[in-house]
């Protein structure tokens, strides 16, 4: 009997559910406006070489400050944008923004942009990316695209074809959040990822869990065999850093080194870095 009534009718008489879905619809409308008005911004978090400590890339992370509700985390508004058909528009706008910021940075620094699996479904992603590179003047080899396992389960053939096209342009393809969710070793059989980002959950436990350390070491070994760099994300303590370096991770990212920075802060950080290395060169040439 309860079944006959169906879930829909239960939902209609549940005032809490009703309020939740009203809130959601409002947030959806606000997001639509924010995307149209260009109110979704980017912050940038550096990724360092584990060998030299230099910044080798910078990951672009989306931020939305809601006019009334304040900051809404990307874990909330990115899935919302995916559900209400906004992600392609938003994704392209953010890619464009990241590339136009990155042209001002030293050419040794790449910019990493996160892609939603849904951005692969249109079939013209590589064309979109190519025209963004052309418009902004960013060299293809300075762009990295971060993808998650989620993308591979939807439309395997199309996805790998698009990845091939993007990689042929000179763009680096990174596997993000590796080791959690549905990520599978078989992806490495299908596609030569340039780098793998080990999920923060392994980094969190590397100093306390033998299993976490073993997993990180195994992924590093896989990377060495297949020529993929291994990035550890979410590094918060020096102890974690030492363990990750000992395990052989090639790159490190996390609050220990830097929180995500605004464009202006990142400009300053990178120009200081640039000036410092120029100073170094000047010192060396003065000695000669």
Minimum Å gap between C-beta 97 and ligand C2E is: 9
Work out which of 260, 263, 265, 269 binds ligand C2E, going by CB under 6 A. 260
Tokens 């939902």 identify what position? Answer: 11
Provide the H-helix boundaries in 69-123: 74-83, 87-102
Q: Work out whether 116 is an interface residue with Mg ion (CB under 5 A).
A: no
Q: Work out whether 179 is an interface residue with ligand C2E (CB under 6 A).
A: no
Cβ distance 242 to 207 under 8 Å?
no
| Residue 9 vs 208, nearer CB to ligand C2E | 208
Minimum Å gap between C-beta 82 and ligand C2E is: 8
Q: Binding to ligand C2E (CB under 6 A): which residues in 231-250?
A: 233-236
Q: Which residues of 43-79 are buried (b: 16+ CB within 10 A; e: fewer)?
A: bbbbbbebeeeebbbbbbbbbbeeeeeeebebeebbe
Each residue 45-84 as x (binds Mg ion by CB under 5 A) or -, in order, gives ----------------------------------------
* Residue 203 touches which of ligand C2E, Mg ion, none (Cβ within 5-8 Å per kind): none
Q: Work out whether 176 is an interface residue with ligand C2E (CB under 6 A).
A: yes
DSSP secondary structure code for residue 195 in this structure: E
Phi and psi at 261, nearest 5°, equal -115, 155
DSSP 19-66: HHHHHHHHHHHHHHHHHHHT--EEEEEEEEETTT--EEEEEEEEEEEE
| Residue 78 vs 86, nearer CB to ligand C2E | 78
| Residue 30 vs 178, nearer CB to Mg ion | 178
CA–CA–CA angle 224, 228, 79 (5° rounding): 140
Q: Work out whether 157 is an interface residue with ligand C2E (CB under 6 A).
A: no
Each residue 113-152 as x (binds ligand C2E by CB under 6 A) or -, in order, gives -xxx-----------------------------x------
- Cα distance between the two ends of the chain: 90
178's torsion region: left (phi>0), alpha (psi -120 to 50) or beta?
beta
Instruction: Please report, as ranges, the residues that interact with Mg ion according to CB under 5 A.
Output: 114, 146, 176-177
Instruction: Please report, as ranges, the residues that interact with ligand C2E according to CB under 6 A.
Output: 45, 61-62, 73-75, 78, 94, 114-116, 146, 176-177, 233-236, 254-255, 260
């Amino acid at each position: 009997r309860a079944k006959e009534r169906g879930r829909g009718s239960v939902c209609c008489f549940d005032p809490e559910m009703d309020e939740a879905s009203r809130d959601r619809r409002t947030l959806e409308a606000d997001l639509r406006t924010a995307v149209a008005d260009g109110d979704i911004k980017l912050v940038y978090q550096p990724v360092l070489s584990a060998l030299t400590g230099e910044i080798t890339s910078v990951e672009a992370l989306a931020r939305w400050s809601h006019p009334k509700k304040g900051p809404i985390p990307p874990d909330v508004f990115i899935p919302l944008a995916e559900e209400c058909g906004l992600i392609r528009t938003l994704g392209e706008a953010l890619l464009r923004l990241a590339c136009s910021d990155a042209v001002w940075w030293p050419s040794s620094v790449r910019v990493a942009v996160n892609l939603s699996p849904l951005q692969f479904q249109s079939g013209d992603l590589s064309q979109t990316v190519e025209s963004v590179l052309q418009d902004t003047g960013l060299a293809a080899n300075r762009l990295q695209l971060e993808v998650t396992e989620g993308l591979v389960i939807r439309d395997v053939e199309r996805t790998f074809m698009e990845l091939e096209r993007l990689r042929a342009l000179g763009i680096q393809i990174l596997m993000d959040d590796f080791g959690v969710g549905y990520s599978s070793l078989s992806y490495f059989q299908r596609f030569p990822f340039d780098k793998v980002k080990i999920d923060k959950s392994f980094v969190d436990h590397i100093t306390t869990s033998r299993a976490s350390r073993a997993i990180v070491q195994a992924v590093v070994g896989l990377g060495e065999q297949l020529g993929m760099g291994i990035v550890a994300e979410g590094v918060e303590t020096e102890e974690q850093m030492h363990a990750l370096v000992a395990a052989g991770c090639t790159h490190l990212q996390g609050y220990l080194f830097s929180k995500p920075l605004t464009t202006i802060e990142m400009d300053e950080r990178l120009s200081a870095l640039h000036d410092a290395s120029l100073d170094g060169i000047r010192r060396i040439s003065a000695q000669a």
